Chains A and B, each alone.
Chain A
């Protein structure tokens, strides 16, 4: 029986039965594979680490999209860094109020490959007229770009490999310059129980640039080891503490269908486990 073993950790890991390999590429010093698994549908892994699966991607993409967009309440312009699978784009496009979306993906082939092998992720969102796709290094784009955005979503790979520049102080500083007043930056920030350092390092690097910085959480089954954290940064502290009433009002006005996100989850997701709070308190 064919299996795929994730190699994220030395002493712990998940294994998938591989029913069929759809795509495999081992060039450019990396290993990309897309395969079929009975439980999770199509699974994409890069360099031994699960990136996304058809079955549980909705949790991740809904939480990185709807939480900042609902908390903000009046988002017109969105910047997505990475997100080549199109899942983030699909969720952002659900917001009629959004007028413009720029997505910066470092590799054009990723977009084409995901359209072909993970079509349910983008679900046609790449054809949306509001979307502008830029093929560039995300860190370079925020350095050079002159536009501003109400929400920036960093949908990166892990900090070892092509995504490492999206976890640097420079990147966060440039994001700050590209955000409108009271705008929000959210980023994928790893599974805190397994890699607590990622939380404390990101906090240390983001806090100099934003008046309000914290994290929110969701459990994504194939990002194993507990809840995944998303970094949150804004100059408007009120956005993070928007009440359930306000969020409910906005959510109901939108008529967006979700499978994980709802106003109660939105508010609750900012509650952090004590081990994360303790780590943040002692990070120095």
Chain B
């Protein structure tokens, strides 16, 4: 169930102004918050190069901000490549992480300038034979994690004992495997699976070196760094402390990279929607918002998360209510069996932690427009200086 806080109506002023200026529904992307998230994760994982998983929030302002901070980018499709190309991002700072690709996807990535790719099976390796002199490959290893809402080692990743076979096969095809990657799961409650995966990868890297002399020089530890939705989560520093310890046991030559998506983008965006109608059905007041499950709140379905909400009211009394989305489908309900102060038509509802997998997975069902994303605090001064130096 969504946690709903009630703020006095005067606290709604900023959102009301934004809605007046840009319309409703809205998604407000705060680039300052992106910077804070990036800095926090960088501090928790010193020496780890961060490649932003742009699938979580493929927005130009997010890319520009993170590019200015020196982040790399994790891309998985030709559409994401086009977005990066438009932002003038240095292609050397990108990795293509989709384990399954068509030939056209590989060619698009190479034309963009991305030369690092991820594979987890022999058929995928064979797709690179024509490009073997141009690419470096990471082998994705599966470390299932039943404790996460989204287990990212089910659909992709080879078994640990298959790695050396794939590395040998690659060598026989003239392909260069330069490292390993894994994904410990999304929104992990603790870093136990990261630590386990790092320990196993350390063993694999050492074993392959001892048996064949082959150097694997990159370990991609994926994402999974949690942010707070409804449940309290570990502070990022505490979450990463065991990861740092595990990484210390890697051979010195191994460079470590990560693919954070949610951790960077989720806290950077808030959803602002408006009550467009209400009805009393039995004891329950139904409020119809102009954004819902088919829109920015799609993550409640696809991403298995529930967002904290804020309403604005000066009335103490509460009544049973439902917050529904605008479409004709009955599934389009954001929150039900909730007790909130009564709302009027035109009142604003704010959703928090709504940067990751929200607009990215929203649809235009019923041909309702997607919520417009408005970026604020873009090009903060510190980031801008770096931006100019690097370009």
Contacts and interface: CB of A to CB of B under 8 A. Distances in A.
Bound together? yes
Interface of A: 2, 5, 7-11, 13, 26, 29-31, 47-48, 160-161, 194-197
B133 A7 contact: no
Q: Looking at B115, B136, B391, which has the most chain A CB atoms within 10 Å of its CB?
A: B115
Contact of A7 (B82, B85, B113, B131): B113
B107 A195 contact: no
Interface string B106-119: 01101111111000
A47 B92 contact: no
Contacts of A195: 133-134
Mostly, the A contact residues are: loop
A29 B111 CA distance: 9
Nearest to B174: A197
Q: Looking at B108, B110, B131, which has the most chain A CB atoms within 10 Å of its CB?
A: B110
B386 to A, nearest CB: 14
Contacts of B59: none
Interface string B91-102: 110000000000
B113 A47 contact: yes
B135 interface: yes
Contact of A5 (B92, B131, B178, B391): B92
B110 A160 contact: yes
Contacts of A2: 391
Contacts of A196: 133
A164 to B, nearest CB: 8
B86 interface: yes
A63 to B, nearest CB: 23
16 contacts: A5-B92, A8-B134, A9-B133, A10-B176, A10-B178, A11-B178, A29-B111, A31-B85, A31-B112, A47-B111, A47-B113, A48-B111, A48-B113, A160-B107, A160-B110, A195-B134
A10 B82 contact: no
Nearest to B133: A195
A2 B134 CA distance: 24
Contacts of B110: 160
Nearest to A194: B133
Nearest to B390: A2
B112 A48 contact: yes
Given A10-B178, A30-B111, A161-B111, 11 more contacts: A7-B113, A7-B115, A9-B115, A10-B116, A10-B135, A10-B136, A10-B176, A29-B82, A29-B111, A31-B85, A47-B111
